[in-house]
Chains A and B, each alone.
Chain A
């Protein structure tokens, strides 16, 4: 169930990229999609348990969450965030000459 919802988020984002006309909305949709992907890593990490994976002196046999996907997705979050920042800056630049930010207009103006 959780998995299906997360994948639905990914697809909502993906179809948003295709169907939204505004360039800014497209970028926001990409962010929605990336949220879905990150959530999917968290879902995969929690397959076998939800507890924080810290070794303690007492009993160690608990159902802890898999630390690897969580660690990996941190990198992807940082990369995704920096890409968002770069894209928004370029959209700001483009907005000066194309105030409506309609992507097909921008594409027509800037393709030879």
Chain B
């Protein structure tokens, strides 16, 4: 298993660089890279215990793969495969596929690492490759959005490096477990950077613009999996070091509520999906025990929804309400929306119930509110008029069917959630959400200011969030 793990980490990079040598086979090589990861993830689920690898000495790279990373790796593989299939009939160059594999490989490395430096390398490489994907159309706007993304993530990662060396100073190793012995400023700096990278709470306000202004397949990739690279280490630290778990949970609740709040007043489909990502990342953080399963559920559904939103006739809800959308497209949209709202028989239900089961009362109340909010957000999609005739792109259906099929098949991971009580609860949450949508939110025309999404404020908030984290991490 050790050799297999190392080969699996190296494979996407090897295949990705081979694409430059044989650009004719770019698509085939790319899909091969993604499928190999999926096979590895299933191998992980079959393993009885976690695999830990310590290369060389206790100063160097440590890797840890278990069921939690298995879920993230499987999500990564499925989302990447769906995006490649979506792009199959288009005229994308070999460069594009090579970058997709770079993102895929660096995320795999991030999901397997359990020390701060390997994680740093994984996050930075994924940031660079994501930058190249966002800037792929070469328009001024795409270049600015990509530059803004890279600038913010790199500034955060510089703080992260300072935090990492503080951990090293305290425990003479870079491993995650050293965080327990590290001073509070180390926790503050590292967590602030991961919150920025993962798009959580106020630090994540760079995310709506980046995810909504990218091309459809790139947004699916970014929202489906790239942001999870920032969330995974937070979850892993919360599981390894008991003292930091409450910090992670509080930020999870904050993100879940903030994302929903912003989303309620959003008039644009892709921005609404992006805000919903902010909220769902909070769901992943709030219950570290259930994080892997939730990440799988969210990754599949969000990339499917982004692909579908790219095929809708307009991005503006006002225009969409006047037009009829293709019935088949509408059915796909409803399946995705129901899953993310937590409707039974789709994986979102099992994930939500597992998360809620792992929470203590004050958190559970807040998360139930967030669940109702999510149902309101997606009622906006479900109650769009249907019956129109519109052709979809050739690669669209195979990709979306793969993701939606995954939504149903992934139920197998958690069959215990299907009790009568849980099902009634889920339906009640959705019912309350839809009622609120019809009574209040269908007609609201409030526009929230976007001031906090400006570049300078995003950078400034890094210092405020680190101060807040420092205060939270101080030993009581």
On A, residues with C-beta under 8 Å from B are 10, 14, 17-18, 26-27, 30, 33-34, 37, 40-41, 44, 47, 68-69, 72-73, 75-76, 79-80, 82-83, 86-87, 90-91, 93-94, 97, 103-104, 106-107, 109-112
| Given A40-B162, A110-B140: A79 and B124 interface contact (C-beta under 8 Å) | yes
Select from chain B the residue with minimum beta-carbon distance to A106: B144
Q: Is the interface of B mostly helix, strand, loop or mixed?
A: helix
| Given A33-B155, A69-B165, A111-B209: A79 and B140 interface contact (C-beta under 8 Å) | no
Q: In the bound complex, do residue B161 and residue A94 qualify as a contact, i.e. CB atoms below 8 Å apart?
A: no
Which residues of B are found within 8 Å of A86, using beta-carbon distances?
128, 131-132, 150
**Shortest beta-carbon distance from A32 to chain B in Å:** 10
Q: In the bound complex, do residue B59 and residue A87 qualify as a contact, i.e. CB atoms below 8 Å apart?
A: no
Q: In the bound complex, do residue B460 and residue A18 qualify as a contact, i.e. CB atoms below 8 Å apart?
A: yes
Contacts between chains A and B (CB distance < 8 A), count: 91
How many angstroms from the CA of A97 to the CA of B139 in the assembled complex?
Answer: 11
| Given A17-B459, A68-B59: A97 and B140 interface contact (C-beta under 8 Å) | yes
**Shortest beta-carbon distance from A21 to chain B in Å:** 9
| Given A30-B151, A83-B150: A90 and B158 interface contact (C-beta under 8 Å) | no
Does B242 sit within 8 A of A, measured CB to CB? no
- Name B456's contact: one of A18, A27, A97, A112 (CB within 8 Å): A18
Which residues of A are found within 8 Å of B59, using beta-carbon distances?
68
Select from chain A the residue with minimum beta-carbon distance to B143: A90
Q: In the bound complex, do residue B117 and residue A75 qualify as a contact, i.e. CB atoms below 8 Å apart?
A: yes
- Name B128's contact: one of A40, A82, A107, A109 (CB within 8 Å): A82
Select from chain B the residue with minimum beta-carbon distance to A30: B155
Does B171 sit within 8 A of A, measured CB to CB? no
Chain B residues within 8 Å of chain A by Cβ, number: 40
Select from chain A the residue with minimum beta-carbon distance to B141: A110
How many angstroms from the CA of A41 to the CA of B117 in the assembled complex?
Answer: 13
- Name A110's contact: one of B144, B450, B456 (CB within 8 Å): B144
Q: Among A33, A41, A80, A83, which residue has the most Cβ atoms of chain B within 10 A?
A: A83
**Shortest beta-carbon distance from B5 to chain A in Å:** 21
Q: In the bound complex, do residue A93 and residue B143 qualify as a contact, i.e. CB atoms below 8 Å apart?
A: yes
**Shortest beta-carbon distance from A44 to chain B in Å:** 5
Which residues of B are found within 8 Å of A18, using beta-carbon distances?
456, 459-460
Q: Is the interface of A mostly helix, strand, loop or mixed?
A: helix
Q: In the bound complex, do residue B209 and residue A76 qualify as a contact, i.e. CB atoms below 8 Å apart?
A: no
| Given A33-B155, A110-B141: A44 and B165 interface contact (C-beta under 8 Å) | yes
How many angstroms from the CA of A69 to the CA of B162 in the assembled complex?
Answer: 11
Q: Among B141, B145, B162, B460, which residue has the most Cβ atoms of chain A within 10 A?
A: B162
Which residues of A are found within 8 Å of B459, using beta-carbon distances?
14, 17-18
On B, residues with C-beta under 8 Å from A are 59, 117, 120-121, 124-125, 127-128, 131-132, 135, 138, 140-141, 143-148, 150-151, 154-155, 158, 161-162, 165, 168-169, 174, 209, 213, 450, 454-456, 459-460, 463
**Shortest beta-carbon distance from A25 to chain B in Å:** 13
**Shortest beta-carbon distance from B260 to chain A in Å:** 22
Q: In the bound complex, do residue B145 and residue A110 qualify as a contact, i.e. CB atoms below 8 Å apart?
A: yes
How many angstroms from the CA of A11 to the CA of B339 in the assembled complex?
Answer: 45
Which residues of B are found within 8 Å of A37, using beta-carbon distances?
158, 161-162
| Given A68-B168, A87-B150: A75 and B158 interface contact (C-beta under 8 Å) | no
Select from chain A the residue with minimum beta-carbon distance to B271: A112
Q: Among A18, A41, A94, which residue has the most Cβ atoms of chain B within 10 A?
A: A18
- Name B158's contact: one of A34, A47, A91, A103 (CB within 8 Å): A34
Q: In the bound complex, do residue B117 and residue A83 qualify as a contact, i.e. CB atoms below 8 Å apart?
A: no
| Given A40-B162, A69-B168: A90 and B155 interface contact (C-beta under 8 Å) | no
How many angstroms from the CA of A93 to the CA of B143 in the assembled complex?
Answer: 8
Which residues of A are found within 8 Å of B161, using beta-carbon distances?
37, 41, 73, 76
| Given A26-B151, A91-B147, A106-B144: A33 and B158 interface contact (C-beta under 8 Å) | yes
**Given known contacts A87-B150, A110-B145, A112-B213, what 12 new A-B pairs fall within 8 Å (CB)?**
A26-B151, A40-B162, A41-B165, A72-B174, A75-B120, A79-B121, A82-B128, A90-B135, A90-B147, A93-B143, A104-B454, A107-B454
How many angstroms from the CA of A100 to the CA of B220 in the assembled complex?
Answer: 34
Select from chain B the residue with minimum beta-carbon distance to A92: B143
